């Protein structure tokens, strides 16, 4: 540079004069450099404007670097991501102990606030999520939202060309018998949900001449009877029958249904073992004895009682009376007799139960297991855990925790109930004669330990309930689930099935001894 020359740098006491000489000497060079930059920039701007005028507002700049060879192949984005993922160093930052402790406290508080804990007469906790770590992992999942998403996906209409192939693949994977379905043209099922809820051909499920027949296609998980207040306990897994079916409180609206004199309302404290799970009758069916709500209170009614009967405006009166009369005759009902206030089975009777598991490949509709009258239903908004045998053996209070619909009524031998239990991806339970039932819906659920109740008084003026004949269709699930039967019968009632046995609708479940 020129200002390093000796004739520019001179010693003296006047530094400003030296600086002036430096500037004067470097001015031509600086002016020349500025001129070159200005001309180059002006030429570049002119070239850009000319390109825009000739080509329109096309891209004139390139994202490639100035040193990149235009003929070189660009690196794909996924390679850049892989390189960044593998080459970027990982840095670990310690979390303070206080933050971890607060997180554990928040998780525990959330669990305690979501799970209602009761204790029985002996002080044992019931309706509580217990089991191995796999069960707690299931409890942390948003099962209700997952089931609603699954229901939405099942309702999506499938392409017509895909339906036969997709449904045949599903039938092969889950063992469905396509020869039994009423609609043989698989392309007629618009969605997976329609195929799951398929109807069978008439006559493919003959009804056995027995007191009790199977209400669904499935596998027998467990069955048994009551001997006193306590029933066989397996692996210490217990839950209250009262929590499963709910109880009546003093504020419950009174009904005037027509009962025969031998129809008691059963509320034994301990009932049956469902697949190794013991529970009391009160919690499954609901007790009618008034009690003061305490920490050990079973589920109670939430909201007003409604009549959810489905009354067809153009139904044939003679046919309806003939149907109701046939049910009444088989039940041995005399309409003039009133309901007995007994809360225990009459002498010579006992309580029996059975549990039937519906696999995903089974026929998903359920039917009436006997001639009986459904007087009321109780809807419990609960969880949607899987009801497979694997989970049933490990999750305590499974049928109490899950969403369920308890159908309560009577038959010729006394009390009778049928409980469809929801499961994962099976939040939707349909009852054909209930116009108000909605399961697994969005919105804030009712308080824990409560249920909504409806009656079917308008369904039959003769019987003051919904009369059903054996094997009459009642409703169904959108996928496999479980059905629990609890009923009163003579002491000589004998089951005709074995644990683990496959049964179909209409097959013999049991009968009284000859």
Instruction: Catalogue the active-site residues.
Output: 217, 367, 481
Cα 311 to chain center, whole Å? 30
> What is the DSSP track for 117-186?
-EE-TTS-EES---SSHHHHHHHHS-HHHHHHHHHHHHHSPPPTTTHHHHHHHHHHHHT--TTSBS---G
DSSP 105: H
Comparing CA positions, the residue from 453, 400, 390 lying closest to residue 280 is 400
DSSP 202: T
Q: How far apart are alpha carbons 119 and 56 in whole angstroms?
A: 80
> What is the DSSP track for 389-444?
HHHHTT-TTHHHHB-EEEEEEEETTEEEEEEEE--TT---EEETTBSS---S-SSP
Maximum CA pair distance of the chain?
A: 136
Q: How far apart are alpha carbons 431 and 415 in whole angstroms?
A: 20
Strands 473-477 and 365-367: what pairing? antiparallel
> Which stretch of DSSP H or E encloses residue 50?
helix 15-55
**Which residues, at least 6 apart from 356, have a Cβ–Cβ distance to it below 8 Å?**
214, 215, 216, 218, 219, 220, 221, 482, 483, 485, 503
Question: CB of 350 within 8 A of CB of 489?
Answer: yes
Q: How far apart are alpha carbons 283 and 124 in whole angstroms?
A: 14
Question: CB of 433 within 8 A of CB of 459?
Answer: yes
Q: How many CA atoms lie within 13 A of 145 on its CB side?
A: 6
DSSP 464: T
Phi, psi (rounded to 5 degrees) for 102: -65, -35
Comparing CA positions, the residue from 512, 514, 510 lying closest to residue 213 is 510
């Amino acid at each position: 540079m020129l200002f390093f020359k000796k004739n520019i740098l001179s010693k003296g006491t006047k530094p400003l004069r030296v600086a002036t000489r430096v500037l004067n000497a470097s001015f031509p060079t600086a002016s020349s450099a500025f001129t070159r930059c200005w001309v180059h920039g002006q030429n570049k701007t002119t070239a850009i404007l000319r390109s825009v005028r000739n080509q329109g507002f096309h891209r004139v700049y390139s994202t490639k670097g100035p040193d990149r060879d235009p003929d070189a192949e660009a690196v794909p984005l996924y390679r850049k991501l892989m390189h960044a993922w593998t080459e970027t160093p990982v840095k670990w930052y310690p979390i303070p102990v206080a933050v971890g402790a607060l997180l554990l406290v928040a998780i525990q508080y959330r669990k305690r606030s979501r799970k209602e804990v009761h204790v029985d007469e002996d002080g044992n906790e019931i309706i509580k999520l217990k089991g191995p770590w796999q069960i707690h992992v299931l409890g942390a999942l948003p099962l209700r939202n997952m089931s609603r998403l699954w229901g939405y996906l099942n309702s999506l209409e499938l392409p017509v060309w895909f339906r036969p192939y997709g449904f045949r693949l599903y039938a092969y994977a889950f063992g469905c018998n396509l020869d039994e379905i009423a609609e043989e043209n698989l392309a007629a099922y618009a969605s997976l949900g329609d195929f799951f809820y398929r109807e069978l051909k008439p006559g493919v499920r003959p009804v056995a001449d027995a007191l009790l027949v199977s209400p669904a296609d499935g596998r027998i998980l467990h069955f048994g009877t009551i001997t006193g207040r306590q029933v066989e306990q397996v692996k210490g897994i217990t839950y209250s029958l009262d929590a499963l079916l709910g109880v009546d409180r003093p504020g419950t609206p009174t009904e005037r249904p027509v009962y025969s004199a031998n129809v008691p309302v059963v509320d034994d404290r301990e009932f049956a073992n469902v697949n190794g799970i013991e529970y009391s009758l009160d919690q499954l069916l609901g007790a009618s004895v008034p009690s003061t709500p305490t920490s050990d209170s079973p589920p109670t009614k939430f909201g007003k009682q409604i009549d959810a009967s489905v009354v067809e405006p153009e139904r044939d009166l003679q046919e309806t009376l003939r149907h109701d009369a046939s049910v009444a005759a088989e039940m041995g009902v005399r309409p003039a007799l009133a309901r007995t206030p007994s809360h225990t089975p009459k002498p010579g009777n006992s309580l029996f139960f059975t549990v039937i598991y519906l696999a995903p490949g089974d026929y998903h509709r359920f039917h009436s297991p006997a001639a009986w009258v459904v007087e009321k239903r109780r809807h419990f908004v609960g969880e949607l855990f899987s009801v497979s045998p694997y989970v049933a053996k490990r999750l305590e209070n499974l049928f109490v925790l899950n969403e369920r619909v308890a159908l309560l009524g009577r038959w010729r031998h006394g009390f009778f109930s049928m409980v469809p239990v929801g499961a994962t991806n099976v939040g939707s339970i349909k009852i054909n004669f209930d116009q108000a039932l909605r399961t697994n819906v969005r919105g804030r659920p009712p308080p824990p330990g409560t249920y909504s109740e409806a009656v079917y008084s308008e369904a039959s003026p003769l019987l003051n309930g919904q009369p059903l004949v054996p094997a009459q269709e009642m409703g169904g699930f959108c996928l496999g689930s479980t059905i629990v039967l609890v009923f009163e019968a003579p002491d000589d009632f004998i089951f005709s099935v074995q644990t683990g046995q496959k049964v179909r609708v209409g097959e013999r479940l049991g009968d009284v001894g000859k």
